[in-house]
Structure 1
Amino acid sequence: MKLRKFVDPLPIPSTLKPNTILNGVPYYEVTMLQCVQQLHRDLSPTTIWGYNGMYPGPTIEAFSHHLTRVCWKNQLPRKHFLPVDKTVHGAEPSNPEVRTVVHLHGGATPDYSDGYPEAWFTNNFQEVGPYFTTKIYDYPNLQPSTALWYHDHAVGITRLNIYAGLSGFYFIRDTQEQMLNLPKGNYEVPLMVQDRSFNTNGSLYYPCEPEIPVEGVCPSVIPEFFGDTILVNGKVWPYLDIEPRRYRFRLLNASNSRFYNFSLSSNQFFYQIGSDQGLLKQPVMLKEILLGPAERADVIVDFSMQYGDTIILQNSAPAPFPDGDVPEPETTGSILQFRINRPLCSLDTSTIPYYLTHMPILSEDLASKTRQLSLDMTQDAYGREINLLNNKRWAEPITECPKLGTYELWSFLNTTDDAHPIHIHLVRFQVLDRQPYDVDLYQQTGNISTTGPKITPPLNERGWKDTVIANPGEITRVIFAVGPFTGLYVWHCHILEHEDHEMMLPYIVIR
């Protein structure tokens, strides 16, 4: 169904207040609920799953190195309203159909609070059990100022739970950020960008089988999902009335599979000041910003000379990325409309600093261990295409056991035709380089023969990251310090359909 663009104002997720303060620690209770929400003026209310009954969930704000404690509660229904493929690992008929576990994406957290995919919990009226209905997680916030996000991570159904609405922002603040005089308050705007499709009755549409149906399996997991409408903060193609001044936007690609190449219809610059894990050393001027699923960008846009103008935030990334269909300008090529129509409330004294933060450069010589990790495609037992890490399934023995306090260099060798956004839990890393190589030779012999020079990452990718785009036919190298905790974690592709269908592996941090 065709919906008119830019008829609804952009909602701003509310900031959650603690239920109480216990021994100086803010304590929150967040309940997952099924509700209905108006996602577009001309749509009937849509059934969603939301944290505290909201899609997106409320924003949590924390301060660097100050502990936050959250009690996550599951009060969702017994049955999923989206198609669950019970042939997928973790979603077998023996498990409850509705399961959740919360992951703070990008958080340096103890393993018991990381949202391990098999540490799921469920609602309190299952016919089988017993099962937990709540989990209390500790978030130490051992990171500088950054925009993280929390979302569901239950094994086998993450794609469905996030698509249903289970995601929200989590901001860490610190004194250095506060001293930079960046746009703040009403002039700092979070933008969670997702694609969705709708049935005529307003309900969320999600396919129950691939384009080529799988005999004997329905519903069946699909290789990737691309919706035909774009939502920002839970509204379809919204607009934002703004003043002619500088604004700070916290961009998040929270889509299942879709990449976004953001630009402004006015052809003006973004000033990118931060990436996944915080501030860059210096602002980077860009007319386009590419974000894979789960990547973030912290940007400033100066609208001071545009009073009376209307500007569209646009997308030009093919789907699937990088060699799929180019988005249509009137649908998936449009994201959000800025209307610079409000008078200045006060003089804009914010700045775009020349220098933002100290950024140490991690040399590959620091690495005590180098791992070559392939990104592969094969077929599962039903003949469906399946993406894997290192040609392994989830249940196979764990082979990655990095040692706490050491540095490791991970090389991702992409043998597939897709770009994969690879996320490593717990750690923050730096991208060293990308380099083309002979994929056929590698697949036939296991030997690596590079076919071009190493390509250093673009300036806006030279900060701290937790998710990196591994392009097809390239070796992507990242380096990180292992820690700050020991325990059981995971690494995976953040295309959710890939992650749910075996493109995820555990790893253990040892002493």
Structure 2
Amino acid sequence: MDIVNKKLKKFVDALPIPEILKPLRKYKDESYYKVQMTEFRQKLHRDLRPTRLWGYNGQFPGPVIDVQRGEPTHVKWENKLPDKHFLPIDKSFHNLEKLPEVRTVTHLHGSQSKPESDGYPEAWFTRNFRDTGPQFKNKVYHYPNHQRGATLWYHDHAMGITRLNVYAGLAGMYIIRDEREERLNLPSEEYEIPLIMMDRSFQDNGELFYPSQPDDPQENWPNPSIRPFFIGETNLVNGKIWPYVEVEPRKYRFRILNAANTRTYQLFLDSGQSFYQIGSDGGLMRKTVKLDNLAVEPAERLDVIIDFSKHEGETVTLKNDLGPDADPDDETGDVMQFKVTLPLTSVDRSRIPRYLTRIPSLSENKVQRIRNLKLVGSTDKLGRPLLLLDNKKWMDPVTETPELGSTEIWSMINVTNFTHPIHIHLIQFQIVDRQPFDLNRYNQDGTINFTGPAKPPHPNEKSWKDTVAAPAGQITRVIASFGPFPGDYVWHCHILEHEDYDMMRPMKVIETDKWE
């Protein structure tokens, strides 16, 4: 069936606000949640039939889990999904033909959790835990929540089908709050709104459309065959296509998450207003940064304030800059609308602070190791695109083995021709710099010839991060201290099509006597 050939009217559906999940009870004197992954139908646009989806607790996106720093939580993630997938699975790699078709494992992205609660790709499980992967350890996950207040998110991480499970709807937001944030008098309660952005394509009957092959498949490629990327034809926010939200003429705080498979958003407001970014992946930044546009890679989070006080009665559109060469028929230059039509209910006493928090620089630490890691393009035995980290596949032996408590610099050398958002599990890191080199020269003789000086991170990147944009033809350096737990983790590109095949590597944090 073809993708939708009728144009969907924009800004006709109100923005849903995801509900906050309440704990069921105490478990070992800590909050306990039960979250079920189920199949259901949900109406994503006024003019579309309800769409078949998979989601957490029957919602797309899943409910927000909202916790306090230092208050641990236990979550039992239960798979109640059908045994057959409704999206096209390529079983030609990672021995997927030998595994159950529908497998899930939830990763809390940005969380400092022990390995058995991290959502390791091979810790998957099927409906009612009938089958489990080789790394499966426990049914109930434990999240210490000892880290700084931050916007995290949870999503599926099953080996080889993450792109499909997330596309089907398995994603949601997780917020850790702390006292520092509460003392800043930021917009709060109904004036703090999560914005979970993603793109999707649809069939005429309202069902999700995900291509079964790349755009230019060769005769010897299997069908289905994994794609190197996916870009959808519509933008969704909080599970609605091009929604609107009514706001008061006052300041609002928006926690923005890019939950798309591949798409990077370049956000701006058509009113000419600025964003005031106060936070990033790992929580509050050192100081507020005023920006006219926001670049947000897949899996990145931005915490921003928008002030509507001078726009009473106006409609402000959140736009996505598609660049000068965009297809004129591409409608994804629009994201959502803010209608400043609600009356002011009370005096707005919230603030946009200049200074937010202190972030110690890891550059003062003793660096135990510098790793040079190449992001490379290749082809598999069938001639299909294959993207790798340091020319190694998932199945190759572990090579990244930082010692517990040690500080390392990872230099990511991108010799492909596009940006990769690189995510490292367990830790929050700091970006050191990026330095451009002659990519054409490298492709000719393998020489790294720098074409400019190393540049510090953008002002809104000078904070704790767990996902970094590593642009083409540049060396992106990050510095991190590895902990607080030892064990098996992963690092990977967060373009989900890349992560599934084969741009993900195991990482083992080694416990030694030296750091005790």
Normalising by structure 1, we get a TM-score of 0.96
Contact 2:422–2:491 under 8 Å retained in 1: yes
Contact 2:122 2:133 in 1 (8 A): no
Structure 2 equivalent of residue 165 of structure 1? 169
Instruction: Give the conservation status (yes or no) of the 8 Å contact 1:255–1:293.
Output: yes
AA matched with 2:391: N
Call closer, same or farther: CA 1:357–1:130 in 2, change over 3 Å.
closer
Deviations 1:289-316 (A, max 9, x none): 1011001100000000101000000001
1:300 maps to which residue? 305
Pair 386,129 (structure 1): closer, same or farther in 2 beyond 3 Å = closer
CA distance in 1, matches of 2:343, 2:439: 56
Give the counterpart of 1:36 among 38, 41, 47: 41
Matched position secondary structure for 1:497? helix
Counterpart code for 1:53: G
Q: Distance in 1 between the 2:138 and 2:79 partners?
A: 6
In structure 2, which of residues 255, 262, 279 is the aligned counterpart of residue 274 of structure 1?
A: 279
Contact 1:31 1:75 in 2 (8 A): yes
- The residue number in structure 1 matching 2:113 is 109
1:122–1:133 CA contact under 8 A, matched in 2: no
Report the counterpart of residue 77 of structure 1 in structure 2.
Answer: 82
SS of the residue 2:483 aligns to: coil
SS of residue paired to 2:151: strand
Any idea what the Cα deviations from partners look like across 1:305-363, whole Å, max 9, x if unmatched? 10100000000145xxxxx9536587100001000000011111101112110021221
TM-score, with structure 2 as normaliser: 0.95
Q: Aligned residues: percent identity? A: 54
Range 213-222 or range 229-238, more displaced: 213-222
In the alignment, the residues of structure 2 paired with residue 329 and residue 303 of structure 1 have an alpha-carbon distance, to the nearest angstrom, of 31
SS of corresponding position for 1:491? strand
Say whether 1:390 aligns with 2:394: no
The answer on 1:244 being equivalent to 2:249 is yes
Deviation of 1:367 (Å): 1.4
Runs of 4+ in 1 over 6 A off after TM superposition: 128-134
1:462-507 CA distance string (max 9 Å, x none): 0100000000000000001111100000000000000001000001
Report the 3-state secondary structure (helix = DSSP H, G, I; strand = E; otherwise coil) of the residue aligned with 1:197: strand
How big is the shift at 1:437?
1.5
| RMSD between aligned residues | 1.8
Query: Could you tell me which amino acid in structure 2 is paired with residue 255 of structure 1?
Result: A
For the residues of structure 2 that align with 1:288 and 1:221, how far apart are their CA atoms? Answer: 33
Distance 1:27 1:325 in 2: 50
Q: Distance in 1 between matches of 2:159 and 2:470?
A: 23
In structure 2, do the counterparts of structure 1 residues 243 and 330 end up closer, same or farther at CA, with 3 Å as the change threshold? farther
How far has the Cα of 1:217 moved from its partner? 0.2
| Residues 39-54 of structure 1: pairs in structure 2 closer than 5 A | 39-54=44-59
Query: Which residue is 1:416 aligned to?
Result: 416
Q: Which runs of 5+ in 2 are unaligned?
A: 512-516
The code of the aligned residue for 2:116 comes to: Y
Q: CA, structure 1 residues 4+330, in 2 after alignment: closer, same or farther (shift >3 Å)? A: farther
1:449 Cα offset (Å):
2.9
How far the C-alpha of 1:365 sits from its partner, in A, is 6.1
What is the CA deviation profile of residues 148-177 of structure 1, one whole-angstrom value per residue up to 9, with x for unaligned ones? Answer: 000000010000000000000000001111
> Letter of the aligned partner of 2:108 in structure 1?
L
Rounded Cα–Cα distance in structure 1 between residues aligned with 2:368 and 2:181: 33
Deviation, structure 1 residue 438:
3.0
- 1:374 matched residue in structure 2: 374
Write the letter of the residue equivalent to 1:475.
I
1:288 aligns with 2:301: no
Q: How does 1:411-450 map to 2 (within 5 A)?
A: 411-442=411-442, 447-450=447-450
Match of 1:123 among 120, 127, 135: 127
Instruction: Pick closer, same or farther for the CA change 1:365–1:29 going to 2, 3 Å.
Output: closer
Q: Determine if contact 2:123/2:137 at 8 Å carries over to the other structure.
A: no
Is the aligned partner of 1:156 residue 2:194?
Answer: no
8 Å contact from structure 2 (residues 116, 138) kept in 1: no
Residues 425-477 of structure 1, C-alpha deviations (whole Å, 9 max, x = no match) = 00100001000113355456655332210111111010100000000000000
Q: Are positions 1:185 and 2:164 aligned together?
A: no
Task: Give the counterpart of 2:94 among 72, 75, 89.
Answer: 89
Letter in 1 for 2:448: I
Residue of structure 2 in register with 1:100 after alignment: 104
Q: How many residues align?
A: 504
Question: Which residue does the alignment assign to 2:514?
Answer: none
Contact (CA 8 Å) 1:89, 1:502: kept in 2 or not?
no
